[in-house]
Structure 1
Amino acid sequence: MQYEPGLSRDELIQLATRTYFGNVDAKNMEAALDCFHDGALFCVQTDFTRHSGKEEIRRMFDDFFAAYETIIHRDFTCTVDEANGRIAASFVAELTDADGGVTLLNNTNFWRVRDGKFQEVYVYMSGANVLV
């Protein structure tokens, strides 16, 4: 399903890389969740994991935020379909746990945006799923 275009190319990139990942990296739960529609779907395709709705997505982030002292998403390469409200980004996720152990992942996310918020998110993760 396609959604009406609503955000420009730059606004889609801002939503994905700065608003969303910026708040995830800051562990700012409410601002990160505000990027999603109430009935949003969040799937980790490489692990067949699915979170449906904001409450399931909140629980996923609660666990993710608790598991890592620092979360950094960086080195974004974005591809944007402005006409259909879609964006894809490849990036590095650098996660540091309480013992100082570092997990580096090379991931790609695909977002479907409706009315300025994520309706669907599909994640392809290079290692073990950290978003269970």
Structure 2
Amino acid sequence: MQYEPTLGREELIHFATKQYFGNVDAKNMEATLDCFHDEALFCVQTDFTRHSGMTEIRRMFEDFFGAYETIIHRDFVCTVDEANGRISACFVAELHDADGQVTLLNNTNFWRFRPSSEESGQGPKFQEVYVYMSGANVLT
């Protein structure tokens, strides 16, 4: 189903790179989850992994945040489909664990937005996220 777009180009880029990844990097669970609709779908395509709905997405982020001391997403190159409310980004994920090991991944994400209901007073959120990782899946 296609949803009516409500965000412009710069708003889509800001939502994906600053609002979403900024909160992921800060390990701010509630603000990260606030980027998703309750029935959102989060897929790691390169590992055939699906997380459906807020409970599964929360558990995925709890595990991810617990596995790394420092999480950095950087060097974004975004492609925006403003007319359809979609965005993709290629980026580097730099992950530091408690033992000082560093994992570098070159990833690409594809996001599809869905407007929130007018009653909620909230803006659009992710309905679907598709992730392609260059290495082992860190979002199990």
TM-score (normalizing by structure 1): 0.99
Aligned residue type for 1:57: I
**Runs of at least 4 residues off by over 6 Å:** none
What residue number does 2:7 align with? 7
What residue number does 2:111 align with? 111
Give unpaired runs (5+ residues) of structure 2.
Answer: 116-123
Percent identical among aligned pairs is 83
Structure-1 separation of matches of 2:91 and 2:114: 23
TM-fit CA distance, 1:2: 1.6
What residue number does 2:56 align with? 56
Structure-1 separation of matches of 2:49 and 2:4: 28
TM-fit CA distance, 1:3: 1.1
Alignment RMSD, CA only?
Answer: 0.4
What residue number does 2:25 align with? 25
The number of equivalent residue pairs is 132
Give unpaired runs (5+ residues) of structure 1.
Answer: none
Matched residue SS, 2:98: coil
Query: Is residue 138 of structure 2 the alignment partner of residue 130 of structure 1?
Result: yes
